[in-house]
Structure 1
Amino acid sequence: MDLDAHIKEVTTLRNKADKLIEDSPGALLKKIEILARCLVFIGRVSSQLDGDYKRIYAQRKYEYSFAEINAKSPKKAHAELAVKDLREKEAETYQMMQRWRNAFSSSQEEIHALKLKMRIDFENNQYGG
């Protein structure tokens, strides 16, 4: 998967949605549709980063075990030093993973709020009905 292309698509869709006003039912509906498409790409990015994190975690566990077996005493200290860079990479990937999980969740909430706004506006005859 091309992560950068998906992130670019999220940004493009988000910018389109942010430019739409919420005062007209057509624009509000269009905004909801764009944000729903955006949510698909956010989900893909989030899923990819979840997998990346798990793969780095597995690699770190393997490298740690390998280093611990082959290390001189103190084995644990040497093993920890051997996986320092992987731990940093794992932490960075975890941070990105959490960021996109949060983006997914907050986007769902935003879509829900916009749908609720549309329903309330229609019930209150806000759109000249």
Structure 2
Amino acid sequence: MLELILTNISIILLILLLSSFINEHTGVQKIKSKKRKYTIYTVLLIVNFIYFFDSYNEDETLLSSNLIILGIDILFILTNFFSLIFKRKGFYGKYMVLGILFLILPFFSIMMFALRGLPHG
């Protein structure tokens, strides 16, 4: 259950980070907070329905969703890193640091799955 809570928190943080980056980067069309909330609700609803209704593969569901979150976050960090180097704007560094900080939750939950596989004793 703790892994599900950590996965949900990391999904919320990632969606908020990506939507605020899009708002900062594109000045023409901003994502409203109502759209952010609906996006978060739908993604969390889909992940939690898959987790609760597929009781046979619930660990694999959480592990794969954490790996997807990890991959998206690493791509986001690399995008901001190269944008910081070539475009020299300050807000790319801020989002790169936030992306690195948000890597903690998916790594922690993946390591909890890895520690579960070790023999006891």
Q: TM-score, normalised by structure 2?
A: 0.47
Q: Which has the higher contact order (CA 8 A, sep 6+)?
A: 2
